[in-house]
Amino acid sequence: MTGLKTSPLTQTFGVEVHDLQLANISQDHLFPELRSLFEEHSALLFRNQQIDDARHMAIAQLFGAIEDRNADERPADEPFSVPEVSNIRQDGSVTDQMDQHTLHLKSNMLWHSDSTFMPVPALTNILIGRVIPSTGGATQLASTRAAWADMPEMLKAKIRDRGIWHHYAVSRAKISETLAKLPMFHKWPAQHWRAVLRNPINKKESLYLASHAYAVDGYNELESEKLLEELIGFCTQKDYVYSHDWQAGDVLIWDQRAVLHRGTPWPYDEPRKLSSICVSIGPEDGLHEMRLVEDH
């Protein structure tokens, strides 16, 4: 499909792209080929990359508008800074295991898609390994496209043509009720998205799930909880999962419409830092077709 050299990450999805420095791509040079790989394989890995924050933002903007969760809080004269998934404080120390910030990081260890709780969710995350602990701290990806293709019709019928409600505090409450009460997890009202998405380019279907999900149309609270657990459980079987053990300079890019992800534990007395830029879904990515607007 492209002239780029690739090798599969798993038998069901994902490719590693070889011999390419992302810092050298542009809208007209190699990005169209990368975007085709992104649509077809859902997850891309690049190793040994040399990318500073400015280039990180430039690469993200090739995919679309950069997500800025703090735009309403930041002074007008303060520029956007690249978010970090990190337990490192400004003085170089690390947060305690039960610190609220660490609990927030632990919430990312639940299977999820980014920003399903926002009015415009994420198309992709461009994640870069910066500071890597001695062990653990992997990022796992699970293909809801490959899983949906294999899913028994009896289970598909339970969710097909339905919508799912998402709220940020829901995932945080699974880790800590105190954490879930913080204002940052109540900035946005519940969002309602189609449970099954169709890729606008290749028409392949995927399930759209997250740890932020809490209600499925047509089911009560307990039924919704059980169905969501069943669906996520099916999608995260080993045949549909890629587990990435980070090295500094690695870059992962994946399709949030078709891939769940989560972090894994590491020794919390060790520093860990990833740079993370989410890109918002645009109309050309199927945003309007995803949205369900109803009272709830």
For residue 168, what are the CA distances in angstroms to 20, 185, 213, 256? 36, 5, 9, 16
Q: Give the burial class of 156: count Cβ atoms within 10 A of its Cβ; 0-12 exposed, 13-18 middle, 19 or more buried.
A: middle
Q: What is the DSSP letter of 80?
A: P
Q: Are 142 and 240 in contact (CB under 8 A)?
A: yes
Alpha helices in 165-244 (DSSP H): 168-173, 177-180, 221-235
**Which domains does the chain possess?**
5-290 (3.60.130.10)
pLDDT at res. 150? 98
Q: Are 58 and 29 in contact (CB under 8 A)?
A: no
- List the chain pLDDT tens, one digit each, 296 residues: 457 999 999 999 999 999 999 999 999 999 999 999 999 999 999 999 999 999 999 999 999 999 999 888 888 889 999 999 888 988 888 887 667 777 788 889 999 999 999 999 999 999 999 999 999 999 999 999 999 999 999 999 999 999 999 999 999 999 999 989 999 999 999 999 999 999 999 999 999 999 999 999 999 999 999 999 999 999 999 999 999 999 999 999 999 999 999 999 999 899 999 999 999 999 999 999 999 976 54
Tokens found for residue 190: 């519940």
Using CA atoms in the order 136, 181, 210, 154, what is the torsion angle rounded to 10 degrees? 120
Which residues, in sequence order, are bridge partners of residue 276?
A: 127
Distance in angstroms (rounded) separating the CA atoms of residues 94 and 75: 27
Look up residue 275 and give its amino acid: S
Q: What is this structure's pTM?
A: 0.95
Distance, CA of 41 to chain centre:
15
Q: 3-class SS at 180?
A: helix
| Structure-token match 């500073």, residue found | 52
Distance in angstroms (rounded) separating the CA atoms of residues 169 and 190: 10
Going 180 to 185 to 187 to 193, the CA torsion angle's sign is negative
pLDDT at res. 159? 98
pLDDT at res. 74? 85
pLDDT at res. 293? 75
Tokens found for residue 222: 């307990």
